[in-house]
Amino acid sequence: MKVGVLALQGAFREQREVCEALGTTVTEVRGPEHLDACEALIIPGGESTTMTRLLRTSGLHDPLAARLHDGLPVLGTCAGLILCATTILDGLPEQESFGVLDVTVRRNGYGRQQESFETTLDVVGAPEFPGVFIRAPVVEAVGPGVTVLAEHGGRPVLVREGVRWGATFHPELAGDLRIHEQFLHAARAA
Ligand code: GLN
């Protein structure tokens, strides 16, 4: 399977390594010309506002939005989840998102004291998954079509709406391939 990793900013190298370890062919997506090679896409963690700006300047924003709305399987992690969400709270004024995953996320929702932390997550199909949270968003609400695959502190941290998956944490930094494996399996089946 051919997987694209949005490579404008953030933790895209780690995503690439995980996908390659799972036997996929990876394209680093930096411009519209890279989209044709993608049967699934990963949007990494990083800084959602910076990524959005680079999506605009690279000319990638609109063609990528079209592919996503057309049903391209996507896994958004952390900032990537923010970019996929339908509603962003505490975003910059006029912060944009693709709106393909029916969740409300609050940027930097864990606040200062707990900005970054690690905890063990009970993920559906991947028990005792190492959860690495870095200035993570908090999912405050999910739409009726969204399945919650893991929670932390009563809040969803891994969600799925059909072929669109979002994690508030960083599965690519966990040293554990199971979530990527599940996503790629679902994307392949789609
Ligand atoms: N706080 C970042 C943002 O708002 C996300 C952090 C991350 O991706 N690790 O974009």
Q: What is the mean pLDDT of the chain?
A: 97
Average pLDDT over every residue of 110-128: 92
Q: Tell me which residue of 162, 95, 81, 157 sits closest to 122, measured CA to CA.
A: 157
46 Rama sector, left if φ>0, alpha if ψ -120 to 50, beta otherwise: left
Q: Is the CB of 168 under 6 A from ligand 1?
A: no
* Whole-number Å distance between alpha carbons of 40 and 170: 18
Architecture category of domain 2-189 in CATH: 3-Layer(aba) Sandwich (3.40)
Tell me what pLDDT residue 87 has.
98
* Whole-number Å distance between alpha carbons of 87 and 167: 15
Tell me what pLDDT residue 112 has.
78
Positions annotated as catalytic residues are 78, 170, 172
CB atoms within 10 A of CB 63: 15
Tell me what pLDDT residue 135 has.
95
Tell me what pLDDT residue 132 has.
97
Q: How many angstroms does the Cα of residue 47 sit away from the middle of ligand 1?
A: 5
- The pLDDT tens digits of the residues spanning 134-184 come to 999 999 999 999 999 999 999 999 999 999 999 999 999 999 999 999 999
- The pLDDT tens digits of the residues spanning 38-57 come to 999 999 999 999 999 999 99
Q: Tell me which residue of 174, 172, 124 sits closest to 151, measured CA to CA.
A: 124
Average pLDDT over every residue of 1-8: 97
Asked if pLDDT for residue 114 goes beyond 80, the answer is no
Tell me what pLDDT residue 25 has.
96
Q: Is the CB of 108 under 6 A from ligand 1?
A: yes
The protein residue with its alpha carbon nearest to ligand 1, atom 8, reads 45
Please report which confidence band the pLDDT of residue 85 belongs to, taking 50, 70 and 90 as the band edges.
very high
Q: Is the CB of 46 under 6 A from ligand 1?
A: yes
Asked if pLDDT for residue 26 goes beyond 80, the answer is yes
Please report which confidence band the pLDDT of residue 115 belongs to, taking 50, 70 and 90 as the band edges.
confident
Using a 10 angstrom Cβ sphere, with 0-12 exposed, 13-18 middle and 19 or more buried, the burial of residue 144 is exposed
